[in-house]
Amino acid sequence: MKLNHHHEVKKRPKVVIVGLDAATWTLIRPWIAEGGMPNLAQLMRAGVCGPLQSVLPPITPPAWSSFMTGKNPGKHGVFHFVETERDGYAMNYANGGSRRSPTVWKLLNDAGFSVGTMNIPFTYPPEALDGFQISGLDTPTANSAFVHPPVLKRELVDHFGKINHDVRFLGFMSTDQRRAQVLAEMEKTDRQWAAIALYLLEHHPQDVMMFVFMSIDTVQHYFWQYMDRSHFLHDPKAESRFGNAVRKVYERLDAVTGQIIEKLPSDATVLVVSDHGGGPVVDRTVFLNRYLHQLGLLHYCEGGTDRRQRRFGLRRIGTGILRGGFSLLRKSLSSRQKNLLAEAFPTLRKKAELAYTSFRNIDWDRTKAYCSEVLASPPSIWINLRGVKPQGIVEPTEQRALTDFIIEKLNELKDPRTGKPIIARVYRRDEIFHGPFSDEGADLILDWWSEDSLFSTQPSFTKDKRKPPVMIRDHRPSEDSEWGGTHRLHGILIGRGPALKIAVEIENAKLVDIAPTLLYLLGVPVPEDMDGKVLTNALRSDFLAVHKLQAGDASGISETRRSSGYTEEESTKVEERLRALGYLD
Ligand SMILES: [Zn+2]
């Protein structure tokens, strides 16, 4: 442990990264043009900026994991908030323990640099870094061991009280009062993290530091429709109250970024990054399992408990999924994850129950392809492969023709108003993921993040199996907690420092490029198995001329077995809280 004590010389941070989850240029640029966001604007004038391409699909857990490893999800094994069992139909919650590649933090430690990180998603349980690590949104509870070293947690709690990852009432915004409460809670959470970040800079500076703020993501999901007059959920009456909710969060975190920069030596490198962008949700909904059923690829069990089900043990398995689903909630769902799911599902329990019920009615013995509709996104399709899934019926030799057929049929789904295809592109697993864990990803990944390919999915129910697979949602103001915003592929990158160009816009930067660039800036060889590249177009030619690019040995795999790392005690606490909140009977 190398926390600074009074007798030690304090370190001067060399690189400081501010992570603004979901920050997007489509909002920042116009606001800067109006004179807003002064600190990011100043940073852009003093350095480089440009779009930062996320991973596919652009969601938080794989995105930040790829940021930290410089690798695609096939090499680190984090694909989603949940991980689907490769040899089953059930799902488990993932966390930082599911990551199976060394992080750039570990590589920096090995090269002699101390590292301190705060609130990065998917860093629970925290790594035993030389420096510190405070876990992010996969932290189970405030009582969990989410800070390394533990002595730092005691110190922070002494100064700041209980450290809060949660935003209360998120899933329950049925009134303007509740919406206002949620915005106030978000501000409180931001203020606490900002105060902790400034304290850590002052009292525990490290060579490399990173601070992440989550509320841009949250506010975009729930309040986009209030600022966007063309949005199908826009409410003109609520615009005066919540029309500036998103911008307020951006301006607040712009100010926090300014305060962080003020604390730094002038020769420190500063990076501001987001893990993906944001944009409005659109009114097109696709019922994927309903469509697969209509194509003859997915069959439902007729009746609840027929002989066929019992004969093949389906009832037992179906109930197992249902029970398994909720025992997962009981076992591993943290308060923070509950909020994440509340984001995905405004009325979590109802939706989860419905989704599990719909899932339970799938007749696996006659089903070739299915979507795990339990989570709202991302929409992806799995093949019920013989030898892999317990009741797989698709022969490996049949798989290519089957996925060709599904892709062709997905391309035929049209917006009834325009006649244009809804899904612009369907990716095969091997087009997106490569590496030792790539076969843990879904077989087909549907593009829901590109501007010409926007749609949502919802669970399909047996009783509706003959309804059209595409639905256009009603245009009306939001009444409850409801996503008006979702993710886009491109986040942001801004950087300033002695090695970086000045007032230059760069193209083609990717989230996986940050880890190798960070290593290069500090003179550490870049592991040959990182997928990212050093962002040479952001760097001054005189720096590049003097500092040779060094390829290093592969960083490889850190673990071969995934595990969530949640203890029984944490599970019990989580269960108590969920019960109190009405999530469990
Ligand atoms: Zn995110």
Mean pLDDT of 457-478: 89
Q: Tell me the sheet residues that pair with 18.
A: 211, 272
Note residues around ion ligand 1 (Cβ under 5 angstroms): 21-22, 60, 217, 275
CA of residue 212 to ligand 1 center, whole Å: 10
State the pLDDT confidence band at 3, using cuts at 50, 70 and 90.
low
Mean pLDDT of 537-546: 97
Residue 206 DSSP class: -
CA of residue 9 to ligand 1 center, whole Å: 36
pLDDT in tens, 137-182: 888 888 889 999 999 999 999 999 999 887 777 767 888 998 999 9
CA of residue 59 to ligand 1 center, whole Å: 6
- 90 pLDDT above the threshold of 70: no
Q: Please give the span between the terminal C-alpha atoms of the chain, in angstroms, as a whole number.
A: 44
CA of residue 277 to ligand 1 center, whole Å: 8
One-letter-per-residue 3-state SS of 485-539: EEEECEEEEEEECCCECCCEECCCEEHHHHHHHHHHHCCCCEECCCCCCCCHHHE
State the pLDDT confidence band at 298, using cuts at 50, 70 and 90.
very high
Mean pLDDT of 254-259: 98
CA gap 198, 304 in Å, rounded: 58
**Among the ranges given (121-130, 286-295, 452-461), the one the predictor scored with the smallest mean pLDDT:** 452-461
Name the nearest CA neighbour of 156 among 187, 118, 186. Answer: 118
CA of residue 391 to ligand 1 center, whole Å: 35
User: Under DSSP, is residue 348 helix (H, G, I), strand (E, B) or coil?
Assistant: helix
CA of residue 376 to ligand 1 center, whole Å: 15
State the pLDDT confidence band at 7, using cuts at 50, 70 and 90.
low
Provide the pLDDT for residue 12. 94
Quote the mean pLDDT of the chain: 86
User: Under DSSP, is residue 457 helix (H, G, I), strand (E, B) or coil?
Assistant: strand
Q: Which of 335-339, 374-378, 482-486, 543-547 has the highest mean pLDDT?
A: 543-547
Provide the pLDDT for residue 321. 35
CA of residue 92 to ligand 1 center, whole Å: 20
Go through the chain and tell me how many residues it has. 585
CA of residue 288 to ligand 1 center, whole Å: 24
CA of residue 585 to ligand 1 center, whole Å: 31
CA gap 161, 547 in Å, rounded: 45
Provide the pLDDT for residue 459. 77
CA of residue 217 to ligand 1 center, whole Å: 6
- 572 pLDDT above the threshold of 60: no
- 574 pLDDT above the threshold of 60: no
Q: Which helix (H) or strand (E) holds 260?
A: helix 245-262
Mean pLDDT of 543-566: 81
120 near 64, Cβ under 8 Å?
Answer: yes
CA gap 24, 489 in Å, rounded: 10
CA gap 10, 202 in Å, rounded: 9
478 near 253, Cβ under 8 Å?
Answer: no
Residue with tokens 């509950």: 338
- Encoding tokens for residue 216? 């841009």
